[in-house]
């Protein structure tokens, strides 16, 4: 089914995200300071029953042993829930994609591997279909100093901020810009873009709505907002200001701060089309 943003007919999606490390769900702030949030299979099942539209499971360590544990978990999740779910983390080649889909996942999320080898996007889309390929982008708004000599002279410094993409779970910066990379990913066959603002991750002050709105204007494929949910209003703003197609969150769901049924009723009352 083709996606047409102009019609507004498709419901906005609420997507809990579960970061999985050594078989348990964890959550941090700005990609660090991880704490346990429970069993991913049980959490996924609970979210499905509460009315989540989709789920995302990310293997954040993806070591060899971790992959085996994670694959087993994917199989268990598929047996317990009846909504679509995406898996990511350590997916570097078609064999990894095939393993996840065979275990029961509906989509795969690729991040670092896609930036290093952009042709992987085309390979996944060609082999399994664009709808399977979610390109995740971890980006941070970094301040760049244009004239370092002015710093030495302690004069006015002209600064500009740009969104840069990061690899390895936010540990390694690239020189790829968020917007040009998202556009290239779409052109290569990505079915969706999952954009996480590292500046906003876990801070609970709202999503990066300006960047989201620019992505939504630039691209024709769905945009999933990630990083910054702390209140029901933040989800509303991601949809109304950021024009996101879906909003992903973790800790507000994991720790019971915002129940999904309550969130959806609120969004419905604000005139946002959600599946109740």
Per-residue b or e along 147-167, where b marks 16 or more CB atoms closer than 10 Å to that residue's CB: eeeeeeeeeeeeeeeebbbbb
* Cβ contact 235:26 at 8 Å: no
Length of the chain: 276
Q: Closest Cα partner for 86 from 109, 120, 69?
A: 109
Residue identified by tokens 């810009």 is: 177
Task: Write down the catalytic residue from 53, 59, 138, 237.
Answer: 138
Annotated catalytic, 138?
yes
How many angstroms separate the CA atoms of 162 and 92, rounded?
27
**Catalytic option among 19, 53, 96, 245:** 19
Q: 3-state class of 33 per DSSP?
A: strand
How far is residue 257's CA from residue 232's CA, in Å, rounded to a whole number? Answer: 10
Which residue, chain included where needed, has tokens 């969150």? 249
Residues with a known catalytic role: 19, 138
């Amino acid at each position: 089914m083709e996606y047409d943003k102009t019609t507004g007919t498709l419901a906005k999606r609420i997507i809990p995200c579960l970061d999985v490390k050594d078989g348990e769900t964890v959550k941090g702030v700005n990609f660090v300071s991880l704490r346990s949030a429970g069993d991913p299979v049980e959490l996924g099942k609970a979210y499905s029953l509460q009315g989540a539209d989709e789920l995302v499971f990310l293997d954040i360590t993806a070591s060899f042993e971790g992959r085996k544990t994670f694959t087993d978990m994917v199989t268990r999740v598929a047996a317990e829930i009846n909504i679509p779910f995406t898996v990511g983390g350590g997916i570097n080649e078609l064999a990894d994609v095939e393993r996840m889909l065979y275990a029961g996942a509906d989509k795969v999320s690729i991040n670092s591997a896609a930036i290093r080898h952009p042709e992987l996007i085309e390979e996944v889309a060609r082999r399994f279909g664009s709808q399977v390929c979610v390109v995740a982008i971890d980006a941070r708004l970094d301040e760049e100093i244009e004239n370092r000599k002015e710093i030495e002279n302690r004069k006015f410094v002209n600064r500009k901020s740009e969104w840069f993409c990061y690899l390895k779970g936010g540990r390694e910066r690239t020189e790829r810009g968020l917007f040009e990379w998202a556009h290239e990913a779409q052109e290569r066959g990505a079915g969706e873009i999952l954009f996480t603002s590292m500046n906003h991750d876990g801070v609970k002050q709202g999503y990066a709505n300006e960047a989201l709105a620019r992505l939504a204007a630039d691209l024709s494929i769905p945009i999933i907002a990630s990083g910054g949910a702390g209140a029901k209003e933040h989800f509303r703003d991601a949809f109304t200001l950021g024009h996101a197609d879906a909003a992903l969150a973790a800790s507000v769901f994991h720790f019971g701060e915002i129940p999904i049924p309550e969130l959806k009723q609120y969004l419905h009352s604000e005139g946002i089309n959600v599946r109740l």
